[in-house]
Structures are given as C-alpha cells and as structure tokens.
Structure 1
Amino acid sequence: MEPEHDVQALSDADVHVYEAVAGGAGEHGSVGLDALVHSTGLPAEEVRESLERLIGQRYVRPTDQGFGLGQHTFGVWR
C-alpha cells in the first residue's frame, strides 16, 4: 500500500529538515546527518525522527552519503 502524501500533515521540524535536505542535496546530491543537525539547529534525535517520517512518505531517501530528495509529487487540492 502506498503511503499517503499529505504535506499539511508534516510538522514544522519535518518541513525544516526537508528544506535542509533540499538545500544540501541540491548542491551535492545528498547531505549527511551531521550537516542536517548543523543547518537546522535541531537536536540530532529530532532530526533522525523527522528523517524517518520523511523517508516513510518518500519525501527523502537514504543515499550512500546521507540523504537526498525522494521521488514524490505535491498535489494541490481544490
């Protein structure tokens, strides 16, 4: 069963971590956990938990060097 993608269900921390992944992955293809902790200013455990949620919904994917953007689409509801 496909995970449900609801960007509105993401917490502020999840959005912050996603944006940090997008910024780091855009420059280097992926970004490591330490860089995400540094760039978000969040505790490492909170970043790890957020990454688990984001990976579960395929917004983020694990890579050999850390984390990159996953394949997903954001829909607009009318």
Structure 2
Amino acid sequence: MPDEKSLEDAQEMTTAELAVYEAAAALNVKEQPATAAEVAGMTGLPEDTVRRCLDSLAAGGRLRPENGAYLLGDHDWGLEY
C-alpha cells in the first residue's frame, strides 16, 4: 500500500492525471475496469499520455492495475456519478 502522503492531496495531480482518474473512477462506478483505450476515448487525451497517467496514478496508490486495466485504489470515500 502506498504511504498516506501520496494520497493526501488531489491538487498534486496534473490536469491530465485528474482527467484520467475521473474517467477511470466513472468506469469503476459502473463496475468496469478502465483501459487506456477507453480512458483516451473519454478524455480526448493521446493514449500514450493516458498510459503514463495511469501508471503514475497506480504508483501513487490511486489506481491499481489488474489484467491490463485499472481499478480504483484503496480509499475511504464514496463516489457519485
């Protein structure tokens, strides 16, 4: 599990990371893991950028990779979309 500091502040995310995280969260609410292609389609960002953001978010504990896709990482708050 990542250290608590890495998850403290959403303001530390770049604009692209925030867009990617929101798209992944929206898919996860629908019980769908997020793939780079799906997130790129939702955000309009290039797939290479999305992959870098997904990897960065996973390294920070916000997402967790699973079978080529990403799910929300550990959190103690609810999502409403």
Q: Indicate the structure (1 or 2) with the bigger Cα radius of gyration.
A: 1
**Number of residue pairs matched by the alignment:** 74
Are residues 1:49 and 2:52 paired?
Answer: yes
Amino acid at match of 2:59: G
Counterpart of 1:39 in structure 2 is 42
Structure 1: gaps of 5 or more residues: none
Instruction: Report the TM-score, using the length of structure 2 for normalisation.
Output: 0.78
Runs of 4+ in 1 over 6 A off after TM superposition: none
TM-score, with normalisation over the residues of structure 1? 0.81
Query: CA RMSD for the aligned pairs?
Result: 1.9
Segments of 5+ residues of structure 2 without an aligned counterpart are none
Percent of aligned pairs with the same amino acid: 28
Alpha carbons of structure 1 residues 55 and 29: separation in structure 2 relative to 1, 3 Å: same
